Amino acid sequence: MSERKRAMQSAVWERRYEPIDSPDGCTIWSRYADVKDLELHTVWSIVEGDNGDLYVVPGFHVVNHFGYAVTAKPWSDADLESNLFAIW
């Protein structure tokens, strides 16, 4: 992740977007098949940054992909413009 971007803390992200558990009862959704048909604006990718930290970013990402998070509250296009992401 770029050093210029600022990450919100995971607790702030959780309050704002309200993550929901996977069918297995885990916060991290590991299977693409479980998220591919969900509303795009509720799916987040968990990716590993250059420093080894995990970040949650809006939408589907492939590079350094670790898993997915799904939220009750959707992210918006404005969130994308502000480079929104959170330390997981």
What's the average model confidence in pLDDT over 6-23? 87
Task: Tell me the domain boundaries of the chain.
Answer: 10-87
Report H helices in 18-85: 32-35, 77-81
**Tens-place pLDDT, residues 41-84:** 999 999 998 888 888 889 999 889 999 999 999 999 887 776 66
Please tell me whether the overall predicted TM-score, pTM, comes out greater than 0.95 for this model. Answer: no
- Torsion sign across C-alpha atoms 35, 37, 38, 41: positive
**Tens-place pLDDT, residues 20-39:** 999 999 999 999 999 999 99
pLDDT at site 10: 83
pLDDT at site 31: 92
| 56, 46 Cβ separation under 8 angstroms | yes
